[in-house]
């Protein structure tokens, strides 16, 4: 990762305790564990955003064609 910046987050006591326990169990600092967890979640979030953009782009393309029923009639008419 790149340079680190200090940030203050407020979390429930139970989350803080679980974070400390998992960090101790994994033999990493709470900061490193939190960075890893946030990075994984943000990667998923960015992938979801890309998927949403792709779906919206496809929806715009749909309006440029003809309805399936009309296409089928045209195909049947032309053999």
**Residues spanned by the domain of 27:** 13-78
Assess if residue 7 is contained within a domain: no
Number of domains in the chain: 1
Both structure tokens of 2:
């790149």
Assess if residue 1 is contained within a domain: no
Look-up: residue for tokens 């195909």?
A: 75
Assess if residue 22 is contained within a domain: yes
- pLDDT at residue 63, rounded to an integer: 63
Cβ 19 vs Cβ 28: under 8 Å:
no
Per-residue model confidence as pLDDT tens digits over 5-49: 999 989 999 999 999 999 999 999 999 999 999 999 888 888 888
Crossing angle of helices 30-62 and 13-26, rounded to 10°? 110
- pLDDT at residue 21, rounded to an integer: 97
Assess if residue 8 is contained within a domain: no
Assess if residue 38 is contained within a domain: yes
Assess if residue 5 is contained within a domain: no
């Amino acid at each position: 990762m790149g340079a680190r910046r200090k940030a203050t987050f407020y979390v429930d006591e139970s989350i803080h305790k679980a974070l400390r326990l998992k960090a101790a169990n994994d033999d990493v600092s709470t900061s490193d564990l939190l960075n890893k967890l946030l990075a994984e979640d943000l990667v998923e979030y960015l992938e979801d955003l890309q998927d949403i953009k792709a779906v919206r782009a496809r929806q715009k393309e749909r309006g440029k064609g003809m309805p399936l029923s009309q296409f089928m009639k045209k195909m049947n008419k032309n053999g």
